[in-house]
Structure 1
Amino acid sequence: TYGKRVVSAEAFTSGKNFVQTPANMKTRGDWCMTQGINHFVLHVYVHQPYAVQPGLVPWFGADFNRNSTWFAEYGKGWTDYLRRCCALLQTGTHAADVAYFFGEDTPRMNGSQSPALPAGYDFDYINAEVLLTRAACKDGRLTLPGGPSYRVLVLPPSDTMTPRLLARIETFVRQGLILVGAPPQRSPSLAGYPACDRKVKAAATRLWGDAPCTPQRRSVRKGSVFHGFTLEQVFATLDVRPDVSHAPPELLWTHRTAPDVDLYFVSNQTEKPLECAPEFRVTGRLPEIWDAQTGTRCASALFDAGPHATRVPLRLEPAGSRFIVFRQPLGKRPSVRALMRNGETVASCDAVTQATPSASEPGNFVMAASVKPAKTILLPQQAARGVQNREQNFVVFPAHGNAWGDGHSGAGFSVGRNGVAVFEHWHQNIAPVLVWAAPAPIDRTVHVALVYVKGRPSLYVDGRLVQQGVASGQVPHPSSGEAAEFAGACEGLTLSKGTLTDAEIADSARRARGATASVRPAVAWPPVTYANSGALTLNVQASGLYAARLSDGTTRNWTVGPEPRSLKLERGTWAVTFNHPDRAPQTCRWAALMDWKEADDPLVRYFSGTAEYETRFVWQGSSPAARVMLDLGEVRQIAAVALNGRALGVLWKKPFCLDITAALRTGDNTLTVRVANTWFNRFIGDEQLPDDTGANEKGILETWPQWVLHGTRRPESRRVTLVNRKQVKKETPLHASGLLGPVTFFESLAIQ
């Protein structure tokens, strides 16, 4: 970026139309921010000239336009998140230890990272123009105007460099820069040939010596040249510690720095909760945790201030992200090293041990999820060949093996109330390599783990081995991503290379059961914070005897009781109004929440748009130190919440939870939740009806129908949508939609 404050990028182009939502775009957006993007240009907003919905749609990009079911009315919650993130990531400059030289050959789309960057460090690319005209060496660091600086300059694996550039790099090394790479042998240009080659060899000799060998470290005045070293070895020699250490691979990060603040953005790239305790290369400052989704921030008291870094335990929700901001002096206030509840540790600064699969070999991997299926499936005969994937309920659809090459297959699995089927997909095969018939209907949430060892699958249900499959003869790979059409509830889908032992699988199942249980965690996060006065504040959601072990050797105790109040709306009357775009609103009264696609009424089953849920409940009153939270449970896809007529905000990702204290009354209350899905289900509903669109055999409109151009009555009045490029077929499975719950109210206590 060469010190530019704003780095823009076209965003969210790659993806299937009418499937992308804020929730499933978040990790990709977060990934972009950790790569340096801090200004998003949403793609694509299509002009809609006709009064048909959704109208004009390109084959790429998300449907950011006025005809979207969610963007215009509910998109602000998500774009507020992007705005907050981008504003913070435009603060100061990017902090990186390594500058990888891009090379002088063109055209080039990507730079080389050789030797590879170790975990815990960050980098920027730099080109010849900047090295020649803007860079300087200050205090042994390669420095650019505006603030960015680098401890190490790495050359790409190339035997060419122009004499002018090599002379400039030689000057930097003599001033104290660390250079990593092999000596160039000649100039890539014929300008000044053959003298140019002699100049390159002479400068290379001054830097690398007469007979460079590997590995070699050579001092050149104030600087050094490393040849044949890994960057781990270079950093160990220089005593340059990682910027972020003890971070699991699922946690991506980036670091911005300014004179008075260090700011780290961290992102959980998985759809499961992530607990970790990363160390940040900052000392003497207090860690604050800022949540760009909610706009809230707090000073965490749970941290360990070491001599070289500060460890900050984190507990991130699925696809969760936070900013860790260091700006206030640490002072003399003690930090919390561990928090116990009733004698059991519930939070600690100790490093978190991640379950690590064994060394990965081809055909070794694990796919696991907690699922509660809502339909039965066809259980074919287990076989190493065949195409038998009809009437399934895929948690993960098997990708075609050609993504990995000949002789490879993509693996996926389907879960129904009557059992599990595992499929591998390659040329002319979607083979049922493992099939298990459940001894009793699966009517609850179960943990399903598919473990491949040397190409052969085994199935574990709730940590117990129940079925072994057959090897297909291909090299299987885990397919990525939850299938959007899965009927039922799916939580914590994980795909990992390597294998796990039976004991590790059983432990994973136990932890999954705990994560999906209705029992709420005893503590909020962070569990202990500093008030503005500096006093320790305990943040909990359960009664008990709490003890915080402090860094000064003392202990702080709290007694919390009685149990914080909670209320689950398990059964009651929900008035659900479907706002049809082509007819009067339709109000249904439900005694329990349900998925729209399971409704008998086709107007509900195929509905796309916004439905408004309304129910009444009685709240008995709150504790003095309590904030009352609302958890909607599962929502497909996005929800706007109001309580007693007061709008409280938009929820667009898990957990669908917010603070309702300001609007809650003691006694009777009215809860209103507006839920929107995508156009997908209405597309499928329209395909059940006669076609009046004039689309060709590929589903593409070559011209608009006359009834659109002239504004006359539509021939098939029961159809709702019109799109220039059809998205589905008649038999395409419906997507889960609506407020699925369970809906829960609970108290969160803040006690000094």
Structure 2
Amino acid sequence: MSIANAQISKLKEQFIHPPNSAKPGVYWYFMDGNMSERSITADLEAMKKAGIGNFIFLEVNVGIPRGPVDFLSEEWQRMFAHAVKEAKRLGIEMTLGIGPGWTGSGGPWVPVKQSMQHLVSSSVNIMGGKKQLIILPIPLPKKPYFGEGAFTPELKKQWNDFYEDVAVLAYPTPSATGQKIADVDEKALFYRAPYSSVRGVKQYLPTTAEYVEPPKNTVVDRSKIIDLTGKLQPDGTLNWVAPKGNWTIMRFGRRNNGAITRPAPVPGLGFEADKFDTGALNAHLDNYVGKLMRKAGIPDSKDEGGLKRLHIDSWEMGAQNWTPHFREEFKKRRGYDPLPYYPVYAGNIVESNEVSERFLWDLRQTAQELVLEYHAQQVKTYAHRYGLQLSIEPYDMNPTADLELGNIADMPMCEFWSKGWGFNSSFSCIESTSIGHINGKSLIPAEAFTAQDDVWKQYPGSMKNQGDWAFATGINRFVYHTFQNQFLADSLRPGATMGPYGVHWDRNQTWWPMVGSYHEYISRCQYILQQGRTVADLLYLTPEGSPHVFRPPSSAMDGDVFMPDRKGYNFDGCAPSQLYKASVQNGMLVFPGGASYRLLVLPAIKTMTPALLRKITSLVYDGAVVVGEPPLKSPGLSGYPLCDEQVSTLAKTLWGTLQEPGQQTIHEYGKGKVIFWGDLDKKIDDLYPEYELTAQLLKSIGVEPDFTSNGTLRYTHRTTNDADIYFVANRTGVSVETTATFRSIKGNPQLWDAVTGEIRQLPEYGINGQLTTVPLKLEAYESCFIVFTKDGVSNPSDHKNLAVSTIIKTLDGPWQVSFDPKWGGPKSIRFDQLVDWTLRAEDGIRHYSGTATYYKDFDMPVKPGKMNKSIYLHLGEVNQMARVKVNGKDMGVVWTAPWRVDISNAALKKHNKLEIEVVNLWANRLIGDANFPDDGVVNEHWPDWLIQGKPRTSHRYTFSTYNYYKKDSPLIKSGLVGPVTIQESNY
């Protein structure tokens, strides 16, 4: 067997039986001291049995009364060590968040002096020329972004009391009142609101080459600013006699920014550690991560399970703009002293609007570099010291550019919310997949299906379409949010929740015993999508500076805003720091990780640093094709004004002109060229040209779309040395028959079905140049992999791509159905016809939640021995999952279209026994139980019967820590509706 065939054989083998590395994971949440070794082991064993291969360990405080095991106490640490030991035993990978709560890095061990800080100020105006008592008030802290309600009294006192002086500056008061700098609290990094959940948050802070300047008599004269820091007395008085005239005196000091761990267990509440200071971070890490590793033992890389990585979750602790060494770091990085520009923090214009805005750009750039180097990179260094990796979700309140922060990660992550149950963070998926693709990362996980008020309504079938969207985006590991630690007795179901948050992905779900089949589908998809590298043609460069959220032009996306699909030319976003690693090979932009692109598209920003412009110039000289306009200036004050002259000279060299010619222009430089102006200048989406314009450029150089169909299919494309792999999914709820075109001639097409593990040839196809056309038929939300490889059989004449199916028997008439009396259903009852349970008269069936088994005997119409075709049992409509057994043999679980199982190997005979276990959702039983007295959690206290171990008297069957349903809430369709048919099918 050739090496290529051996690799394809391995690919097929592990597609059918995926390795642990391909399995999905969960966010495993513990709730403020509610835990036990029993519940830890039970949860982990349930994960293992269901096909969960990894988890993120976090403890929070959301919606559940406090438990008996105080966070980070000796008992808590012992239970953490037990979780590590059990994860090792079961071969499950563990990731540890780097602090209490679901975000950030802090805790009660962080002294306020080592917390996140702001440079705040107060000012007084005096008339000079005489000796006088000058008292400078202590500057007030900025209000915490999330308010003061989360503070404990002790934390609030520390927040109020902490203050240290930084500087005192005086300057002649401008003779006329001037305008303040617009949005200075945002520009000076006092606040950064959550981009995903607060309307109006800026995607980026634009820079410009032209500024509207106020009159000179309204701005601060930089040359006349006096440093009076040494004249400030401890009591706040100033030992200074001001010269004649009106003077403004500003007192600057550092204060805590109000960020605390959230939503942390009560014993874990504390300040967030300084994100600009490695010493503060290391002290925090040693107090948390280090303490836990000393208890659980240093991880062994040879173990399949156990602690494998640290994790920085979505950035939700806001911004900071100061640290004690900020001035020195600023000087080192920007080349000038920021002291005279401190008044700009408060919105005052120093020298000019342009100079002040350029200083603010430098301030944010310095802050970004400190976060990247002294926080994220240092967490990575700390992790590597112990043989661990680092995963990062680089988005939301991130005061840096998202792509820059994510670029630090060993494993970039993102998050997507369940459509209809929360916020839209799909942009974060495009960001993290872009980072991963450029850096050649094989794993790009997502915090998957986060939800609010999902209340047990979702299940694998309902999540299929959005999950396939995520795969097409480039995500290749789902980490479901959330598996709530089920610390209550097993009889109390659905049990503990994380308040209203999360899709309920835990062992107390009604359908958990059947979820393994869905996880098998997910694992097969994830395994294949972790192979090779992604194929993309367009690379969108993001602007320099921060904060920045990368968003491609909306015209490059198809579908709705919640699940936007890429079009026929795939793309990625690129941070400036990543571009410095690029080179050019055969006219393509190539990165060390293996990613390559045909066009580099620049953002419509009129500023660029000389260093970045020099890099782009060298890429074009070596053969790159660049689309975009020339910059006119540098964005900051570093090297000003010489930096602007450098930019102008470089831009003239590369573009040939700085004058807008009015029509699309191509300027060749070295082996490459730049394409600019004309229609490319019309940017509806602010930063990038319309997608169709760049698509036309690609076609003009002979590059066809990577994938086309009739518009109902989504795709992604990965390539290896031996195969082209396309993931294709029907994004509609109806059957689709189409001819799809793939940009591959690497071999004969095969269809790999991740639901069943079946691999078959697609003998009907045509080749035209570099394109292969393939007829396809996909059922509602059905997906498959189309794999082009040399190991297939070429055009077998007796087979077709599309199956021909014939109904040979309909299983109508009565069914015997068995419910579980423990959940209120009848032990056995006759259904004269298949019907939705909620339409039955019996209350125990209408409000039933759980599994019911349908029984029926059936005769085969012909002898199976004479059949050459596959025999399928089609279930028709199922609400919501089903397991099929024929003649006592388990034929598998049905959870998605085409809602069938292959029963060809079921030892079929004349008389056959059929069992169909059907499971629905928790909602109907919870609604039914709302007719009985509420005996659950009240005012964050457990009920007496639970605490005292007494029997319940409410007559409720269910128990949950979160109540949502009422007795008149609408019931959810349940059970087997059919029709159930036996069909024969062949290709």
**TM-score (normalizing by structure 2):** 0.51
State the shift of 1:110 in Å.
Answer: 2.4
Does 1:744 pair with 2:744? Answer: no
Does 1:26 pair with 2:464? Answer: yes
Q: Which residue is equivalent to 1:122?
A: 570
Looking at structure 2, the residues matched to 577 and 120 of structure 1 have their Cα atoms a distance apart, in angstroms, of 50
Q: Check the 8 A contact 2:761/2:792 in 1, yes or no.
A: no
Q: Which residue is equivalent to 2:947?
A: 709
Label 1:66 to 1:57 Cα distance change in 2 as closer, same or farther (>3 A): same
Amino acid at match of 1:603: G
Does 1:292 pair with 2:754? Answer: yes
Amino acid at match of 1:244: F
Amino acid at match of 1:577: S
Label 1:692 to 1:97 Cα distance change in 2 as closer, same or farther (>3 A): same
Amino acid at match of 1:540: V
Looking at structure 2, the residues matched to 580 and 730 of structure 1 have their Cα atoms a distance apart, in angstroms, of 21
State the shift of 1:266 in Å.
Answer: 0.9
Q: Check the 8 A contact 2:443/2:530 in 1, yes or no.
A: yes
Amino acid at match of 1:239: G
State the shift of 1:111 in Å.
Answer: 3.1
Amino acid at match of 2:479: V
Deviations 1:575-601 (A, max 9, x none): 211114356961112222121111111
Q: Which residue is equivalent to 1:250?
A: 712
State the shift of 1:130 in Å.
Answer: 1.2
Q: Check the 8 A contact 1:640/1:648 in 2, yes or no.
A: yes
Q: Which residue is equivalent to 2:497?
A: 57
Does 1:317 pair with 2:317? Answer: no
Amino acid at match of 1:652: W
Label 1:582 to 1:329 Cα distance change in 2 as closer, same or farther (>3 A): closer
Q: Which residue is equivalent to 1:540?
A: 804
Looking at structure 1, the residues matched to 595 and 733 of structure 2 have their Cα atoms a distance apart, in angstroms, of 34
Q: Which residue is equivalent to 1:618?
A: 859
Looking at structure 2, the residues matched to 315 and 32 of structure 1 have their Cα atoms a distance apart, in angstroms, of 21
Q: Check the 8 A contact 1:135/1:145 in 2, yes or no.
A: yes
Amino acid at match of 1:43: H
Amino acid at match of 1:541: S
Label 1:63 to 1:119 Cα distance change in 2 as closer, same or farther (>3 A): closer
State the shift of 1:694 in Å.
Answer: 5.5
Q: Check the 8 A contact 1:288/1:297 in 2, yes or no.
A: yes
Looking at structure 2, the residues matched to 249 and 279 of structure 1 have their Cα atoms a distance apart, in angstroms, of 12
Q: Which residue is equivalent to 2:765?
A: 303
Does 1:593 pair with 2:834? Answer: yes
Label 1:335 to 1:155 Cα distance change in 2 as closer, same or farther (>3 A): farther
Q: Which moved more, 1:210-219 or 1:176-185?
A: 210-219
Aligned residues: 520
Which structure has greater strand proportion? Answer: 1
Q: Which residue is equivalent to 2:921?
A: 678
Looking at structure 1, the residues matched to 935 and 822 of structure 2 have their Cα atoms a distance apart, in angstroms, of 18
Label 1:114 to 1:204 Cα distance change in 2 as closer, same or farther (>3 A): farther
Deviations 1:484-532 (A, max 9, x none): xxxxxxxxxxxxxxxxxxxxxxxxxxxxxxxxxxxxxxxxxxx616xxx
Q: After superposition, where does 1:512-661 map in structure 2 within 5 Å?
A: 528=800, 540-542=804-806, 566-572=808-814, 574-582=815-823, 586-620=827-861, 621-622=863-864, 623-661=866-904
Q: Which residue is equivalent to 2:231?
A: none
Looking at structure 1, the residues matched to 979 and 813 of structure 2 have their Cα atoms a distance apart, in angstroms, of 10
Q: Which residue is equivalent to 1:167?
A: 614
Looking at structure 2, the residues matched to 540 and 276 of structure 1 have their Cα atoms a distance apart, in angstroms, of 16
Q: Check the 8 A contact 1:100/1:113 in 2, yes or no.
A: no
Deviations 1:149-170 (A, max 9, x none): 0001011111111111110111
State the shift of 1:80 in Å.
Answer: 0.7
Looking at structure 2, the residues matched to 689 and 13 of structure 1 have their Cα atoms a distance apart, in angstroms, of 31
Looking at structure 2, the residues matched to 276 and 103 of structure 1 have their Cα atoms a distance apart, in angstroms, of 40
Looking at structure 2, the residues matched to 705 and 649 of structure 1 have their Cα atoms a distance apart, in angstroms, of 41
Label 1:242 to 1:722 Cα distance change in 2 as closer, same or farther (>3 A): same
Q: Check the 8 A contact 2:764/2:795 in 1, yes or no.
A: no
Match of 1:227 among 668, 676, 693: 676
Amino acid at match of 2:668: S
Q: Check the 8 A contact 2:824/2:844 in 1, yes or no.
A: no
Label 1:5 to 1:219 Cα distance change in 2 as closer, same or farther (>3 A): same
Deviations 1:93-142 (A, max 9, x none): 0100011112212122223438857941000111111111x211111111
State the shift of 1:57 in Å.
Answer: 1.6
State the shift of 1:665 in Å.
Answer: 2.0
Q: Check the 8 A contact 1:276/1:313 in 2, yes or no.
A: yes
Q: CA RMSD in A?
A: 2.1
**TM-score (normalizing by structure 1):** 0.67
Q: After superposition, where does 1:192-211 map in structure 2 within 5 Å?
A: 192-210=639-657, 211=659
Does 1:85 pair with 2:522? Answer: no
State the shift of 1:650 in Å.
Answer: 0.7
Label 1:307 to 1:733 Cα distance change in 2 as closer, same or farther (>3 A): same
Label 1:335 to 1:107 Cα distance change in 2 as closer, same or farther (>3 A): farther
State the shift of 1:146 in Å.
Answer: 2.9
Q: Check the 8 A contact 1:102/1:112 in 2, yes or no.
A: no
Does 1:279 pair with 2:741? Answer: yes
Q: After superposition, where does 1:462-481 map in structure 2 within 5 Å?
A: none
Label 1:581 to 1:157 Cα distance change in 2 as closer, same or farther (>3 A): farther
Looking at structure 1, the residues matched to 796 and 827 of structure 2 have their Cα atoms a distance apart, in angstroms, of 56
Identity over aligned residues, as a percent?
Answer: 37
Q: Check the 8 A contact 1:304/1:335 in 2, yes or no.
A: no
Structure 1: stretches of 5+ with no match in the other structure: 340-526, 530-537, 543-564, 696-700
Amino acid at match of 2:804: V
Looking at structure 2, the residues matched to 592 and 584 of structure 1 have their Cα atoms a distance apart, in angstroms, of 18
Deviations 1:416-444 (A, max 9, x none): xxxxxxxxxxxxxxxxxxxxxxxxxxxxx
Deviations 1:603-652 (A, max 9, x none): 11100001111111111422331221100111000001111111111111
Looking at structure 2, the residues matched to 682 and 330 of structure 1 have their Cα atoms a distance apart, in angstroms, of 51
State the shift of 1:208 in Å.
Answer: 1.1
State the shift of 1:672 in Å.
Answer: 0.6
State the shift of 1:204 in Å.
Answer: 0.9
State the shift of 1:233 in Å.
Answer: 3.0
Looking at structure 2, the residues matched to 694 and 264 of structure 1 have their Cα atoms a distance apart, in angstroms, of 50
Q: After superposition, where does 1:252-267 map in structure 2 within 5 Å?
A: 252-267=714-729
Structure 2: stretches of 5+ with no match in the other structure: 1-435, 558-565, 681-692
Looking at structure 2, the residues matched to 114 and 226 of structure 1 have their Cα atoms a distance apart, in angstroms, of 21
State the shift of 1:749 in Å.
Answer: 3.8
Classify the secondary structure of the residue corresponding to 1:312: strand
Q: Which moved more, 1:264-273 or 1:112-121?
A: 112-121
State the shift of 1:709 in Å.
Answer: 2.0
Deviations 1:693-752 (A, max 9, x none): 355xxxxx62221112222111212x11122222222211111101111111122246xx
State the shift of 1:54 in Å.
Answer: 0.9
Label 1:335 to 1:236 Cα distance change in 2 as closer, same or farther (>3 A): farther
Q: After superposition, where does 1:26-425 map in structure 2 within 5 Å?
A: 26-51=464-489, 52-58=492-498, 59-71=500-512, 73-113=513-553, 116=556, 119-132=567-580, 134-210=581-657, 211-213=659-661, 214-228=663-677, 229=680, 230-245=693-708, 247-283=709-745, 285-328=747-790, 333-334=794-795
Does 1:7 pair with 2:447? Answer: no
Looking at structure 1, the residues matched to 582 and 556 of structure 2 have their Cα atoms a distance apart, in angstroms, of 23
Amino acid at match of 1:159: K
Does 1:728 pair with 2:728? Answer: no
Classify the secondary structure of the residue corresponding to 1:311: strand
Amino acid at match of 1:593: L
Label 1:114 to 1:658 Cα distance change in 2 as closer, same or farther (>3 A): closer
Which structure has greater helix proportion? Answer: 2
Looking at structure 2, the residues matched to 115 and 314 of structure 1 have their Cα atoms a distance apart, in angstroms, of 27
Looking at structure 2, the residues matched to 571 and 14 of structure 1 have their Cα atoms a distance apart, in angstroms, of 41
Looking at structure 1, the residues matched to 551 and 974 of structure 2 have their Cα atoms a distance apart, in angstroms, of 43
State the shift of 1:207 in Å.
Answer: 1.3
